[in-house]
Amino acid sequence: MESEVKKTDFGCVFSFTTDLTLAYSCVLKFQKKNIISIIIVLIQQYISMGMIIQVLFLFQYVCMIASFLISLRFINKEVFPHYMKNFYWYTVVGFFVVIPSLLGNYTDSNFSGIGNFVNNISVLFHFLFLSFFCINLLCDEKKGIFYFLQFVGMLILIFLLFRYDMFKRNRLLSAVANFGLVIFCILYFVKLFNNSPDINIKNEPSFWIVTGVLFCMSISIPVMIFQNHFYSILVTKGWVDFFRGIAMLCYGIMHLFFIKAFLCTSVHSKIRY
């Protein structure tokens, strides 16, 4: 009976208040079973998977746009640490890459083909840029080995790009690129703990960026593989939304970490003598 109440009705407000009151009284009486059942009822009534997906979709793009806007202040400025000097390019390119997806989502126009094509190409940039960033952080003497790894990774990605239809979303390509980046991120942490620990890690932009990338990439690998290989089996809408939601959450969190890294980076105006 409760589930039949339309969410736009005023009845919903009363029902919500009643449920909350009930939940509150359960908390007071510490009735665990009742609390869980009330939470389930609340979820059933007021939250839907579609709503969560929309929220995560917004969360992802808001984070992305926020990191893009914050990164704008680094353009043509002296920044410290120096490895952050060109990092704004990642968010700038990312912003332009998501435009087709955003337009496709909020307008009736069909941008999915172009969006997929741009996405597939951007995976190459994504891998190249972030791996280069990690190599810059890693490099001491064995730079050649890392560049070789990057080169091999790029060859595999180019092969995968041309192997499949470029106008369809190539999740295998993304999974392989993300796997490569996970390796570079792990190498960063190995180096972090092997070198003399003389940095303030909480204010170290590279730490936040690499942590964000590692988290997002390592979660998105199984997600991409599941989406790519088990799509025909897990074709139910629930599973599709499930994986989409996880991927969007991860990307949103990664951009939040980028924002944190940008906030840790200090900007100095260029002084010309």
Angle among Cα 236, 248, 256 to the nearest 5 degrees reads 165
How crowded is residue 83: how many other Cβ atoms within 10 Å of its Cβ?
A: 16
Site size for another protein (CB under 8 A): 29
- Contacts with another protein in 167-206 (CB under 8 A)? 189, 192-193, 196-198, 201-202
Please say which residue, 43 or 58, places its beta carbon nearer to another protein: 43
Please say which residue, 146 or 207, places its beta carbon nearer to another protein: 207
Interface region with another protein, contact rule CB under 8 A, candidates 24-32, 116-124, 162-170, 248-256? 248-256
Q: Kindly compute the dihedral angle of the four CA atoms of residues 43, 49, 54, 55, in this order, to the nearest 10 degrees.
A: 40
**Distances, alpha carbon 49 to alpha carbons 12, 36, 54, 244, in Å:** 19, 19, 9, 11
**Residue 127: closest CA among 102, 156, 169:** 156
- Contacts with another protein in 212-231 (CB under 8 A)? 215, 219
**Residue 250: closest CA among 161, 149, 174:** 174
Q: Is 238 in the site for another protein (CB under 8 A)?
A: yes
- Contacts with another protein in 35-64 (CB under 8 A)? 40, 43-44, 47-49, 52
Residues interacting with another protein, by CB under 8 A? 3, 40, 43-44, 47-49, 52, 189, 192-193, 196-198, 201-202, 207, 211, 215, 219, 238-239, 241-242, 245-246, 249-250, 253
